[in-house]
Amino acid sequence: MILKDRVAIVTAAGSGIGRGGAEIMGREGAIVIATDLIAERAEETARRIRDAGGRADACQLDVTKDAEIERLVEQTAKAHGRIDILHNHAGIQVEGTLEQVPASGLDSSYAINVRAHFVAAKAALPHMKRQGKGVIINTSSNSGVFFDKGMLAYITSKTAVIAMTKQMALDYGPHNIRVNALCPGWVDTPFNDPYMRQMGGRGALEAYVKDKIPMGRWASVDEIAESILYLASDRSSYMTGHALVIDGGECIA
């Protein structure tokens, strides 16, 4: 088990990629604190980890609430004595061009996609510094490494996640705290449901993915979870400030 007894906090762990990452870390021996806006989803993730023989707690957490993040981090440090891994995963997609996105859409994109990662990392940092070791994974997207029509708020905020990740990595490398960005492409989760409805249903989206992605298909959650495990574990022990793109080649097409 490559994460035996490591304490891992995951935001938005109640579905999709967040759940997949939480589960694979649980399978590899981590004590997982699965958090989500929806309490039942976080509980379901924790239950799945425990049913598979792992250790996990669940906690309702809205990442737009600074005090909730700070409380969760302090409670975790108190209960388990340390925080080894922080996976900041929560994010939203606000579509549109400059004319279509209201300023509030840019604000909410930054609040969840960027600011929440900042607040959680800031809260976990003293514990990681004290330990002399820590791993922070900030979910961005392959939308953080290229540009896409009509995605102003998403692209801008996901690019900011990568810039923030690199800056954190630079500042805290001397403390042995590694900070990397996770940049998935199309992953088959409920995250894409609004886009699917907008395109006219599952068939239209499938055709789009087949055509647009060099590998001609979605990623599975399990494929992205492997990358989360890599970033979270000592397998990536000399990697920091990196934006790990897992997108079937979309960003080079």
Catalytic residues: 154
Structure tokens at 242: 């990196």
User: Nearer Cβ to ligand NAD, position 27 or 41?
Assistant: 41
What is the number of other CB atoms lying within 10 angstroms of the CB of residue 170?
12
Question: Can residue 248 be called a binding residue for ligand NAD (CB under 6 A)?
Answer: no
In the complex with ligand NAD, the residue whose CB is nearer, 61 or 130, is 61
> Which residues fall within 8 angstroms of residue 83, CB to CB, at 6 or more apart?
7, 9, 73, 76, 77, 124, 127, 128, 131, 134
Q: Which of 28, 62, 74, 95 binds ligand NAD (CB under 6 A)?
A: 62
Nearer of residues 129 and 223 to ligand NAD, judged by Cβ: 223
Tokens of 45: 């993730």
119 close to 72: Cβ distance less than 8 angstroms: no
Pick the binder of ligand NAD from 11, 76, 138, 240 (CB under 6 A).
11
Site string for ligand NAD, 93-112 (x = CB under 6 A): -------------------x
Cβ proximity of 5 and 28 under 8 Å = no
Regarding 90 and contact with ligand NAD (CB under 6 A), the answer is: yes
Give the C-alpha distances (Å, rounded to integers) separating 34 from 40, 104, 233. Answer: 11, 29, 18
For residue 11, give the nearest of 136, 129, 128, 110 by alpha carbon: 136
Minimum separation from the CB atom of position 174 to ligand NAD (A): 28
Which of 16, 26, 134, 248 contacts ligand NAD by CB under 6 A?
16
Quick one: which of 43, 44, 181, 191 contacts ligand NAD (CB under 6 A)? Answer: 191
Give the full edge-to-edge strand order of the sheet including 243-246: 55-60, 31-36, 7-10, 85-88, 134-139, 177-184, 243-246
In the bound complex, what is the minimum distance in angstroms from residue 39's beta carbon to ligand NAD? Answer: 10
Binding residues (CB under 6 A) for ligand NAD: these are 11-12, 14-18, 36-38, 41, 61-64, 89-91, 112, 139, 141, 184, 186-187, 189-192
